[in-house]
Amino acid sequence: EKLIPAGIPKKAKRRVISCDNVVLVPYLHEHVPRYNKWMQDPSILSLTGSEPLSLEEEYDMCRQWKEDDEKITYILLSPNVDEGSDAQSANAEAADAKSPTTTDDGSSKTRQWVVDRLDRMVGDANLFLSVCEELGDRGELVSSVFEAELEVMVAEPSARRGGIATQACRILIGEAFGLGVERVFVKIKDGNDGSRKLFEKLGFALVRYVECFGETEMELKAPLPTDPGVVFSDYIEPHT
């Protein structure tokens, strides 16, 4: 696999995105303790094919992912019906703090809006961007595909089966095709029947089963219809 094409906009990975049943926010330093606690659960580790990390390692991973243009990661929040659109709420708070000459305070305000909602964390969703190249017998390039691997996890049991994972996937599928990928694919571990049904419902087709890893690969090669109820707000990290 090769590096992703140059020019992928960094702002694609720093946004607040909301709809009726889920809010996606950037993965921040403040999210790490709860995320790390989730990732000590043996059942979650098994279904996601992950290894447990120490809290220090998780902080380091958060920093690395923030700086890596090949990874787009969001924390999933349960929505607050009393606030209306969460992205619009974040925008409004940031706008209130801005002055005509600087956006620093506005950016900090948006960040504080996200930090104030740590108690609403329910999971995460990620895109891993790459270019897969197929070479011929003489080493010549036969094909090149810009693609995105999609992962989603709803860690809080009380938040499952409410459409959060489905909506988060629809949003990130739109993000991926908006960046120009030719396909979005998922890898589903044996026994994770819920994920398989989710992606079948979204229109993913079977690609292959890899017996040695105990996982099924499925793909989607065309974007899904746009949801008019999704609201976006650019997230700008404050200067320190």
The rounded Cα 196 to chain-centroid distance in angstroms is 18
The reported pTM is 0.84
**14-59 pLDDT tens trace:** 788 988 889 999 999 999 999 999 999 999 998 888 899 999 999 9
- Has residue 3 got a pLDDT over 80? no
The rounded Cα 103 to chain-centroid distance in angstroms is 26
**125-165 pLDDT tens trace:** 999 999 987 877 787 777 888 999 999 999 999 999 889 99
Indicate the residue type of 167: Q
The widest CA-to-CA distance across the chain, in whole angstroms, is 62
The tokens 């889920």 sit on which residue? 22
The tokens 């999210």 sit on which residue? 31
The answer to whether the Cα torsion of 156, 12, 19, 147 is positive or negative is negative
Indicate the residue type of 31: H
